[in-house]
Structure 1
Amino acid sequence: MAAKREKSFQFVVIGGGIAGVTCVEELFTQVPSADVALVTAGPHIKAVTNFRQVSRTVEEFDVEERPSRVLQEKFPALTVIHSAVKALHARDHSVETEDGGVFGYEKLCICSGGRPKLLIQDNPYVVGIRDTDSAQEFQKRLSKARRIVVVGNGGIALELVYEVEGCEVIWAVKDKAVGNTFFDAGAAQFLIPSLEAAKPQEAALCKRPRYTTEEPGGVQTFTADRNSHKHGGWTNPGSALGPDWHQGIVLRGAEQVTRRVSVEYQCEVEKICTPEELLPSAEQTLKPDTVGSWPVYIQLTNGKAFGCDVIVSAIGVVPNTHPFLPGNSFALAEDGGLQVNDHMLTSEPDVYAAGDVCTACWEASPLWHQMRLWTQARQMGCYAARCMAAGVLSKAVELDFCFELFSHQTRFFNYKVVLLGKFNAQGLGSDHELLVRCTKGREYVKVVLSGGRMVGAVLIGETDLEETFENLILNQMDLTPYGEELLNPNIDIEDYFD
């Protein structure tokens, strides 16, 4: 039974990341007189800034890390509770915090994000990079490193191998191509030369610093809502990295080299060991002079072994549901996320969830799928707030249009990247065809067609095709008559279809 509650609120939101903060902001938009509490362990929250609606579904924004008081100044009725959650008593409609507080709610939204998967727990040479603290720790470790091994093929790994300088990088990926989460082998081949070329100098004039090491009160920039790494265990929530997290942070090793990246394809980690634990079979794959000269060794399933100073675990996240499950009966998805319906409601009454912690379990549009990205954290947080407000105001609310078509805009290897719909032909089997246009060093355009209709696209570079392709995907126009002319660079396709 829960302890005696201190106070009850109309709405309680757990998590100070993108999903949680967006949820709070939208609650006050929907119900200006709302009584809202935000429960967050850290002193900072993540705020969406410079938001721009590029097209109907494509959006662009920055994420700033700010003191929570900035949110309180914007919404004086907001109560911020600085503590981690110890337990949720769903039957009792109350939340218990680590510092002993108990708070009642009418409607609750869990936006606790995800926590990183680590290759191995409590190994001093293995680091996960998911949040502000761990990025700063990695920066310190990297400054003394001659060689690092990056394991993983997602967004953090892609950004990291491109940004690190002054250090040899061994990149171990389990797939046949890099960036498998975001694009196909063709796009990967287009991007790989960027790893071999000198990194272009960023124009400092127009770039706002995206990462600082200021004391609380300074502005920092990151995204979403996951957990922070403290002394080998994941404890107090710290918000995750997001767009351009590496801007303004020096990712330089101890060597004079600019950048030297070697990719090991189709392999996973077999063993991480000290020099003493190195197997004779692994020693045979190392250069004789390197045996015993590194603090840690990594053996891969392709039979190769490498000595290094740091191993970066960038193998994804798992939904951070831990404090909410005991004593409750949440339905969980196969990936461990809290199941939510098309109103962002979990299986527990009056408990909603948004962002990385939840898994969309409604019958999705054939052109949308869930990926744990900062864009979806913002969209889910906003929509969850509208559903919570509708519940209190007894209003109907329809599924947001953003769930009609998957869209995501980001940057990899200094190229603008836009992903639309079934961009990797997800779930289409052999029932699709691809059209590709590639100009080396400038752009890579791929469209996915099914039954003569466009169902997905990958746009790398300044193509300016996102709005046109978005319309073609949403309209489901039969493109059979156009054939390969659809990507003819001599035809102004935007004017043609507008």
Structure 2
Amino acid sequence: MADRKEKTFRFVIVGGGIAGVTCVEQLSSQIPSADLALITAGPHIKAVTNYKQVSKTLEEFDVEEQPSSVLEEKFPNLTVIHSAVKSLDTQSHSLETTDGRVFGYEKLCICGGGRPKLLTQDNPYVLGIRDTDSAQEFQKRLSKAKRIIVVGNGGIALELVYEVDGCEVIWAVKDKAIGNTFFDAGAAQFLIPSLEADKPERAALCKRTRYTTEEPAPGGSQTFTADRNARRQGTGPTEAGSALGPDWHEGIVLRGAEQGTRRVSLEYQCEVEQIFTSEELLKSPQQTLRPENVGSWPVYVQLTNGKTFGCDFVVSATGVVPNTEPFLHGNNFALADDGGLQVDDHMMTSEPDVYAAGDVCTACWEHSPMWQQMRLWTQARQMGWYTGRCMAAHVLSEPIELDFCFELFSHITKFFNYKVVLLGKFNGQGLGLDYELLIRCTKGQEYVKVVLSGGRMVGAVLIGDTDLEETFENLILNQMDLTRYGEELLNPNIDIEDYFD
């Protein structure tokens, strides 16, 4: 492969998602003269916009799809190569793309992201939601649907179940409570009433057109369009688009075929046992499986709790697996238990001159006691940014320290129209039984949970407009002994900030 190199770049970044694009931006600003290539399968890249540093570690931003030409205009040293990667040869420092071209690199960063863990690979009635194309497909199918089954308990499942209107939703959750990646059963109970209530009216206009590849219509009305010519041919596992941004559902109408509002029924502690078409079910020897009205739905799902439901289609929202596929063959990457490329505290993999960032990698350095990796937007941006700094520092022979963002886990998001802030070991991760909880809950307004260990705050969940995030972030970072405050710590009549500023 080495002797067919079309061109050798100083830096090559693979993947046009948040991690890859942030890495490109960071490298270009640090070494503006370096020859840089971004290899990405789709015509669009994901860019961070409206970035706001909320506190020391908390950040908020929007994710916007942009044509890759926007990046090339910004950085004259950058070449964008539109193709997926077919193979990597770390010995000869070269990559082959699916269109048969070969490029060399001095330093490589793999930002291949994650791909959906689908319930089943080739069932036309099972839809995974991961990128913009699949969100468009979902919207199209939903408009004709009367009932869907959503399987999964992560961020996309939570958002989707809340956003869908005019369609019955059966939500199968493998845990005892919803959203257990993000919060505990108490917070889940706080949020559940929002599924039954009518949603607050949305402002008619979203602050920007989100997933469109055409010009917005005159008068600023919003359409959800897909430029069909720009869609890639073939969507094999290596050619998935970049993941959806936070608020991906804003500005798209998620409406089913039924009149009236949504109806959500929850099935807890169960997974999918089997998926049948109505023909298969009619032929099924297990007569017990047959729901009364067999044949009236195109697809049936049997759950491990013994119940079988018919529906128009199934949404698989069961998380992602690191998309390492095209990079492993013929190379010696150390992989973590979760399938990610192992990286050290300089974001380097086990192969020389190869770095990785975002969902494709697993942080294998000794973590700060208050940090854990979760495959989220904020971490993809932080890792991409830090990896760009590490690559530049190595080339310039400069020392580099582990970035401060890895001191404390922090994340801001929105679920069921509430602001949600997660800090530190917000679910007592890794603490065994050695922690206590303080909780304050005002129905329909706020839910505040603090995790204390040895009298010191180690984590918090804040739902609603609590304005406590900065104070709590400081208390976790400075590890002050809070024993003498006891329950008073969450007394709403005490302005806690006055204590600790």
Q: TM-score range by the shorter chain?
A: over 0.9
**Counterpart residue number, 2:330:** 327
1:297 and 2:276 aligned: no
Aligned pairs for 1:272-291 (under 5 A) are 272-278=275-281, 279=284, 283=288, 286=291, 288=292, 290-291=293-294
Aligned pairs for 1:7-406 (under 5 A) are 7-205=7-205, 207-212=207-212, 214=214, 233-278=236-281, 279=284, 283=288, 286=291, 288=292, 290-406=293-409
| CA shift digits 1:16-43 (9 cap, x unpaired) | 0000000000001111212111011111
How far residue 2 of structure 1 moved from its aligned partner, in angstroms, is 3.9
| CA shift digits 1:384-404 (9 cap, x unpaired) | 011000110000000000000
How far residue 211 of structure 1 moved from its aligned partner, in angstroms, is 2.9
Cα distance in 1 between the residues matched to 2:260 and 2:430? 43
Cα distance in 2 between the residues matched to 1:220 and 1:480? 54
Q: Which amino acid aligns with 2:63?
A: V
How far residue 277 of structure 1 moved from its aligned partner, in angstroms, is 2.3
Q: Which amino acid aligns with 2:14?
A: I
**Counterpart residue number, 1:491:** 494
Change (3 A) 1:476 1:220: farther
How far residue 350 of structure 1 moved from its aligned partner, in angstroms, is 0.4
**Counterpart residue number, 2:465:** 462
Q: Which moved more, 1:390-399 or 1:196-205?
A: 196-205
Aligned-pair identity in percent equals: 80
**Helix, strand or coil at the partner of 1:292:** coil
Change (3 A) 1:419 1:458: same
**Counterpart residue number, 1:424:** 427
**Helix, strand or coil at the partner of 1:334:** coil
**Counterpart residue number, 1:476:** 479
Cα distance in 1 between the residues matched to 2:370 and 2:286? 48
Cα distance in 2 between the residues matched to 1:121 and 1:233? 11
How far residue 257 of structure 1 moved from its aligned partner, in angstroms, is 2.3
| Equivalent pair of 1:58/1:408 in contact (CA under 8 Å) | yes
- The 4+ residue runs of structure 1 with deviation greater than 4 A are 218-221, 228-233, 279-285
Cα distance in 2 between the residues matched to 1:233 and 1:32? 35
Change (3 A) 1:257 1:33: same
| CA shift digits 1:292-312 (9 cap, x unpaired) | 100000000111110000100
| CA shift digits 1:354-390 (9 cap, x unpaired) | 0000000000001000000010000000000110001
| Equivalent pair of 2:161/2:169 in contact (CA under 8 Å) | yes
Cα distance in 1 between the residues matched to 2:15 and 2:431? 36
Cα distance in 2 between the residues matched to 1:362 and 1:215? 45
How far residue 235 of structure 1 moved from its aligned partner, in angstroms, is 4.2
| CA shift digits 1:132-152 (9 cap, x unpaired) | 000000111100000000000
| CA shift digits 1:422-471 (9 cap, x unpaired) | 00000101100000000000000000000000000000000111000000
How far residue 276 of structure 1 moved from its aligned partner, in angstroms, is 2.6
Cα distance in 2 between the residues matched to 1:454 and 1:348? 39
How far residue 204 of structure 1 moved from its aligned partner, in angstroms, is 2.9
Cα distance in 1 between the residues matched to 2:312 and 2:143? 11
Scaled by the length of structure 2, the TM-score of the pair is: 0.95
Q: Which amino acid aligns with 2:144?
A: K
**Counterpart residue number, 1:449:** 452
Cα distance in 1 between the residues matched to 2:411 and 2:142? 30
Change (3 A) 1:371 1:439: same
| Equivalent pair of 2:65/2:210 in contact (CA under 8 Å) | no
Cα distance in 1 between the residues matched to 2:153 and 2:107? 38
| Equivalent pair of 2:449/2:460 in contact (CA under 8 Å) | yes
How far residue 285 of structure 1 moved from its aligned partner, in angstroms, is 6.9
| Equivalent pair of 1:229/1:235 in contact (CA under 8 Å) | no
How far residue 98 of structure 1 moved from its aligned partner, in angstroms, is 1.0
Q: Which amino acid aligns with 2:413?
A: T
Structural RMSD (CA): 1.9
Change (3 A) 1:348 1:215: farther
- For structure 2, the 5+ residue unaligned runs are 225-230
Query: Residue 442 of structure 2: which of 439, 442, 446 is its match?
Result: 439
Q: Which amino acid aligns with 1:208?
A: R
Change (3 A) 1:387 1:253: same
| Equivalent pair of 2:238/2:326 in contact (CA under 8 Å) | no
How far residue 472 of structure 1 moved from its aligned partner, in angstroms, is 0.1
How far residue 210 of structure 1 moved from its aligned partner, in angstroms, is 2.6
Q: Which moved more, 1:96-105 or 1:409-418?
A: 96-105
Cα distance in 2 between the residues matched to 1:377 and 1:85? 20
Change (3 A) 1:29 1:403: same
Cα distance in 2 between the residues matched to 1:421 and 1:262? 32
Scaled by the length of structure 1, the TM-score of the pair is: 0.95
Cα distance in 1 between the residues matched to 2:232 and 2:303? 25
Cα distance in 1 between the residues matched to 2:300 and 2:23? 44
How far residue 74 of structure 1 moved from its aligned partner, in angstroms, is 0.5
| Equivalent pair of 2:131/2:240 in contact (CA under 8 Å) | no
**Counterpart residue number, 1:224:** none
* Number of equivalenced pairs: 489
| CA shift digits 1:193-214 (9 cap, x unpaired) | 0000001111235632333363
Change (3 A) 1:100 1:367: same
| Equivalent pair of 1:212/1:249 in contact (CA under 8 Å) | no
Change (3 A) 1:262 1:393: same
**Helix, strand or coil at the partner of 2:440:** strand
Cα distance in 2 between the residues matched to 1:365 and 1:2? 41
**Helix, strand or coil at the partner of 1:192:** helix
Cα distance in 1 between the residues matched to 2:290 and 2:500? 57
| Equivalent pair of 1:64/1:220 in contact (CA under 8 Å) | no
Query: Residue 415 of structure 1: which of 413, 418, 430 is its match?
Result: 418
Q: Which amino acid aligns with 1:122?
A: D
| Equivalent pair of 1:210/1:244 in contact (CA under 8 Å) | no
- For structure 1, the 5+ residue unaligned runs are 222-227
